[in-house]
């Protein structure tokens, strides 16, 4: 089904969430887009690849009953600026830190999924006095284990029944210029593969959702910006060596990524809770919105 760009715009999307409004603000030398609604303590939601703030739409209204919810297009995403540099997670965390300051908050709750989880973790490491509680959704931050990713799929994990999908895009997204040439105007090919293979229930990401993300990513400059989230992993890994163990409460919620959280987070966090969502893939906010929402509320407090 075809959708006009007008129906896929932030202005149209936010109308589907009547408690929320679009905002733009200048922080750290970029114009950043965020969607804000609700009342109570501030809760920042950071999305990941290949999505936008819209990835949280299934739980935003419910969360806004308890918190001031701020869903953010991180640097390079959606209608936020896409500069040439600044895609290492320390720099992206500084974007969020400056947003906290500009909005006048002392401390915030932060939740991040996928690339957004790495930004959220970096924010907590670099500005611990600004993060009251941290939620990591299905993806641990980058570490040296990424250098051990195999060039070929592991034979004993290629069976679909294992739930394992060979993460070829981690390497592909680090290549300069080629992804833009291949995918400009047809990014839906990658999106459909990712959603079909990383979801336990691929219908959870609807045709409309896929159109929203395709519209956000299919231009060459948008592809280039999002690839830089991956090409900066070596710097992120080097930067992580200076991180101290986090002292604030941290919750890890995982579907297919739960075992990775279970392995990675205990060494990074002093006060850790973990929760596994069974029969769920990577995109837990869409595949299991009720369970994700409930665990967030139980952890953050209402």
Residue 87's pLDDT is 98
Where do the H-state alpha helices sit in 64-185? 89-102, 115-126, 169-172, 178-183
* Residue-by-residue DSSP string for 20-83: EEEEEEEETTEEEEEEEEESSSEEEEE--TT--GGGGHHHHHHHTTTSEEEEEE-TTSTTS---
Mean pLDDT of 278-282: 95
Cα–Cα distance for residue pair 39/106, rounded to 1 Å: 16
58/249 Cα distance (integer angstroms): 25
- Residue 232 · residue 242 · CB < 8 Å: no
pLDDT at 1: 56
CATH code, domain with 126: 3.40.50.1820
Say what percent of the chain tops pLDDT 70.
96
Condensed to tens digits (0 to 9), the pLDDT of residues 53-68 reads 999 999 999 999 999 9
- Pairing label, strands 108-113, 42-46: parallel
Q: Sign of the C-alpha dihedral, residues 66, 118, 124, 99? A: negative
Euclidean distance between CA atoms 46 and 71, whole angstroms: 6
Instruction: Give yes or no for residue 28 having a pLDDT over 90.
Output: yes
Q: The domain containing residue 259 runs over which residues?
A: 5-145+159-300
The share of the chain scoring above pLDDT 90, in percent, equals 92
Number of domains making up the chain:
1
- Mean pLDDT, residues 113-137: 98
- Mean pLDDT of the residues in the chain: 95
152 within domain boundaries? no
With a cut of 60, say whether residue 161 has pLDDT above it: no
Which residues lie across from 68 on neighbouring strands? 38, 42
3-state secondary structure 269-285: ECCEEEEECCCCCCCHH
Assess contact for 146 and 170: CB atoms under 8 A: yes
Higher-confidence residue of 74 and 145: namely 74
Distance from C-alpha of 88 to C-alpha of 133, rounded to nearest angstrom: 22
Q: Reply yes or no on whether the pLDDT at 14 is more than 60.
A: yes
Average pLDDT on 142-159 reads 78
Q: Is the peptide bond before 177 cis (omega within 30 degrees of 0)?
A: no
Judge whether 124 lies within some domain: yes
pLDDT of residue 22: 98
- Name the pLDDT band for 153 (thresholds 50, 70, 90): confident
Look up the pTM and report it.
0.96
Q: Is residue 151 part of a domain?
A: no
Containing 254, the helix (H) or strand (E) segment is strand 250-254
Tell me the per-residue pLDDT of 170-179, one tens digit each, with 9 for 90 and over.
999 999 999 9
Phi-psi region of 177 (alpha: psi -120 to 50; beta: other; left: phi over 0): left
When computed from its CA atoms, the radius of gyration of the chain, rounded to whole angstroms, is 18
Q: Are 253 and 135 in contact (CB under 8 A)?
A: yes
Residue 162 confidence (pLDDT): 53
Note the pLDDT of residue 250.
98
Written as six digits, the tokens of 145 are 């284990």
pLDDT for the residue 125: 98
């Amino acid at each position: 089904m075809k959708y006009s760009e007008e129906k896929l715009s932030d202005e149209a999307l936010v109308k589907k969430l009547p408690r929320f409004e679009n905002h733009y603000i200048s922080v750290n030398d970029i114009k950043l887009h965020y969607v804000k609604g609700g009342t109570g303590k501030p809760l920042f939601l950071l999305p990941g690849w290949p999505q936008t703030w819209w990835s949280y739409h299934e739980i935003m209204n419910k969360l806004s009953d308890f918190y001031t919810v701020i869903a953010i297009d991180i640097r390079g995403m959606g209608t936020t600026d896409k500069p040439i540099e600044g895609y290492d997670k320390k720099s992206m965390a500084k974007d969020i830190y400056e947003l906290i300051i500009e909005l006048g908050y002392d401390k915030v709750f932060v939740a991040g999924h996928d690339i957004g989880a790495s930004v959220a973790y970096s924010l907590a490491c670099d500005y611990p006095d600004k993060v009251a509680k941290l939620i990591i959704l299905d993806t641990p931050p980058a570490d040296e284990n990424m250098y051990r990713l195999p060039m070929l799929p592991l034979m004993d994990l290629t069976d679909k029944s294992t739930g394992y999908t060979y993460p070829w895009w981690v390497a592909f997204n680090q290549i300069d210029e080629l992804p833009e040439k291949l995918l400009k105007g047809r990014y839906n090919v990658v999106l459909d593969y990712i959603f079909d293979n990383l979801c336990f229930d691929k219908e959870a990401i609807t045709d409309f959702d896929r159109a929203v993300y395709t519209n956000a990513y299919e231009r060459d400059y948008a592809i280039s910006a999002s690839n830089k989230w991956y090409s900066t992993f070596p710097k992120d890994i080097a930067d992580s060596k200076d991180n101290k163990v986090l002292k604030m409460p941290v919750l890890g919620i995982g579907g297919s990524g739960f075992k990775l959280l279970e392995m990675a987070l205990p060494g990074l966090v002093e006060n850790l809770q973990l929760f596994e969502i069974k029969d769920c893939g990577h995109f837990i906010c869409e595949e299991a919105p009720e369970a994700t929402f409930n665990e967030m509320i139980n952890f953050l407090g209402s």
